[in-house]
Structure 1
Amino acid sequence: MRCQHALQTLLILIGLGVSSQTAPADPLRDLRAGQRGQILFQSLTPTGPTELMARQSPEATIAGVLTFPENSQATSPAMIIMHGSGGIIPGREGAWAERLNRMGVATFVVDSFTPRGFSATGDDQSRLPLAASIADALSALQLLATHPGIDPNRIGIMGFSKGGQLALYTTLEPFRRAVIRDDVHFALHIAFYASCSIPYLAEQTTKAPILFLLGREDDFTPADHCRRYAAFFEQKGSPIEFHVLDGAHHGFDLPTPLKFLPRAQTARNCGLDIILEPEVTAQRWDTGTLIAPMEIKPYLRTCMQRGASYGGNTEALAVAIDQVSKSILRYLKPDH
């Protein structure tokens, strides 16, 4: 077992481009020693929301990179950055970490895929249950809250596409309570071009503020579906900022030209609420019919499609940077 664990750790580090001399050999359960840089930490891999909420999920080792603003003093606000179905992409997660550091915010870029042996799930979302990534985001929050250089009351989450879903789902109390046993919660949620076609719903949320950043031309995760989800969160007490950016497609903050991905799996023609309490069930938007958990996958097979556009837009990126900066100044209040 010891040799197997050492091999798994080495593979994780190779995938991240990290030498074994610059990262811990075992996953950390707290950061009380003030660690920075490459960090392995403990998370969970539930098969779905029911297993996550039942707290019966197997443990998993996840990786992240923690960076701080230059000349940071006392405690800093922080932002957990969650990637999408394409994994960590050059010019996106790292670029946002640099921008946020310049705004006075520490960043923790989480890699949910490499430690589990994936590079991407865009053409098959079933490779890794969404509930596992939810657990990763909340486990990262619990970890960062123990760092002496981070204010636990000023930690936000930012995510892209599938990561944008995580930025939204981590407001739901049944998920938060499944991972975090105290009152620690995100102070700000920023969702870039999230899919809102199959939203999770719960009676209780954290009521934290949410910033939606969406593309008007997005044929992967349509912006209009998120209007409905934003209304749900607003009704629950979250302050909402909702921006649909002109000329923007999915991935508008990337430094890459627009292209069509024929194998991309999209839920743009779906419409299904997943209701978490008192037990997991679902309701179709078109008919209002309640369906049991075992009927969810058959329904999704009928509505999921393939093919969507993907690429950057410099004007939309500039608007997004401005809106992120305003939200951070308002809700995370960096010192400089």
Structure 2
Amino acid sequence: MFAIVRGVRFLWLVLVLLCIPRILYAQGTRMEVIPFESMTLTDEAFLAGSEDGKHVTIAGELRLPRAGTDRLPAVVLLHPSGGIGGQVTDWEQWFLSLGVATFVVDSFTGRGITTTINDQSQLGRLAQIEDAYRALSLISRHPRVDPSRVMLMGFSRGGQGSLYASMIRFQKAHADAATPGFAAYVPLYPDCSAHYLDDDNVAKAPIRIFHGSADNYDPIAPCKAYVERLKAKGADVELTEFAGVNHIFDGRAFAHPTPLPKAQTVRNCAWEERSAGQLLNVKSNLPFSYTDPCVERGVIIGYDENATEQTKKAIANLVTTTLKPTPAPAPAP
């Protein structure tokens, strides 16, 4: 029922905001729900560099840490397979406390999706990268956002999006060339099981990955291998591993390890892009499908306070050195 109510509310907001976006901008509100156009592309189309897909209107929630006229650093947040949950809103509030604006992108509701946990085939695994690039182009034109100080952060499915959004090849094919790129990329517990063409050619911006060694949803081993390849090419990338920590380690709602028996996982899959747009299952040498035998069900998620706090400390340092938030201007005498 909650999902239905949220969906109705989203559609109502989109219809209203489409009629009055200039008023919202002019008012300089501290919270804006902003609809924007994106594209629903299959993974094959995205990899081929195509922008010929189904047009869709999605929305993001922009929150500003303070009123004023100064330009602020910002972070674009990409949600996991369960949609916008508690850990996303927790991070939203945390960034605001640092003086960083937040733009939480809802990649699901506008597409008629509630969750992909049990059926990942509902949306291409690279679709959130398209959304991220379009979100960056959108908020870069906002009068309160500094386009040179925008970071991308994502969780699980969104973490995968925030990781591979750093690829130069994808940026050239899908990002707005007139917009500065993301200032940093912060994936939490992403899936790294796919090997894309030219995926070791990434942006010069910092890439900071946080992952648990006990994660049986998106195991850490493929991410370690990918990070080593990136480092060999000179990328500014770091992987922080937390021993014995599960998936969604920053989700306070999951105080104890929680089984998701029907959740799809590709933990035993390996994919490889052999030619542009052709993603094959390495074991079968056939096009990958969620009906492949390597796709399994049943995972564990669970909160870990220490891992969460250590992640916050590391990201706070990244924010200080990369986004450089400034104190609020002193009031006029």
Calculate the TM-score normalised by the size of structure 2.
0.85
Distance 2:93 2:11 in 1: 18
How far has the Cα of 1:46 moved from its partner?
Answer: 0.9
Matched, 1:65 2:56: no
User: Number of residues paired by the alignment?
Assistant: 316
Corresponding residue for 2:183?
Answer: 187
Report 1:236-275 matches (<5 A): 236-255=233-252, 256=254, 257-274=256-273
Corresponding residue for 1:48?
Answer: 43
Distance 1:182 1:20 in 2: 26
Letter in 1 for 2:188: F
Report 1:278-289 matches (<5 A): 279-282=276-279
Letter in 1 for 2:105: V
Distance 1:236 1:97 in 2: 33
1:17–1:175 distance in 2 versus 1, CA, 3 Å: same
Corresponding residue for 1:312?
Answer: 303
1:221–1:280 distance in 2 versus 1, CA, 3 Å: same
Report 1:298-309 matches (<5 A): 301-309=292-300
1:196–1:239 distance in 2 versus 1, CA, 3 Å: same
1:280–1:266 distance in 2 versus 1, CA, 3 Å: same
Distance 1:57 1:236 in 2: 33
Distance 1:244 1:216 in 2: 6
Distance 2:265 2:19 in 1: 37
Q: 5+ unaligned residues in a row in structure 1: which ranges?
A: 1-9
Corresponding residue for 1:116?
Answer: 111
Q: 5+ unaligned residues in a row in structure 2: which ranges?
A: 328-333
Matched, 1:218 2:211: no
Counterpart of 2:18 (choices 25, 44, 47) is 25
Distance 1:18 1:144 in 2: 21
**Aligned residues of 1:247 and 1:313 also touching (Cα < 8 A):** no
1:140–1:125 distance in 2 versus 1, CA, 3 Å: same
Letter in 1 for 2:211: L
Counterpart of 2:165 (choices 163, 170, 173) is 170
1:17–1:320 distance in 2 versus 1, CA, 3 Å: farther
1:84–1:20 distance in 2 versus 1, CA, 3 Å: closer
Q: Aligned to 2:134, what secondary structure does the other structure show?
A: helix
How far has the Cα of 1:14 moved from its partner?
Answer: 2.4
CA-to-aligned-CA distance 1:55-100 (integer Å, 9 cap, x gap) = 21221101110001135662111100000111011x2111101100
How far has the Cα of 1:197 moved from its partner?
Answer: 1.1
1:246–1:26 distance in 2 versus 1, CA, 3 Å: farther
How far has the Cα of 1:131 moved from its partner?
Answer: 2.9
Distance 2:54 2:180 in 1: 22
1:66–1:83 distance in 2 versus 1, CA, 3 Å: same
Query: Mean Cα displacement is larger for which, 325-334 or 170-179?
Result: 170-179
Distance 1:326 1:73 in 2: 25
Distance 1:74 1:237 in 2: 35
Percent of aligned positions with the same letter in both sequences? 33
Matched, 1:152 2:143: no
Distance 1:44 1:27 in 2: 23
**Aligned residues of 2:64 and 2:101 also touching (Cα < 8 A):** yes
CA-to-aligned-CA distance 1:160-198 (integer Å, 9 cap, x gap) = 000000111111123223242325211100010001112
Q: Aligned to 1:265, what secondary structure does the other structure show?
A: strand
Calculate the TM-score normalised by the size of structure 1.
0.85
Corresponding residue for 1:234?
Answer: 231
Letter in 1 for 2:305: T
1:79–1:20 distance in 2 versus 1, CA, 3 Å: closer
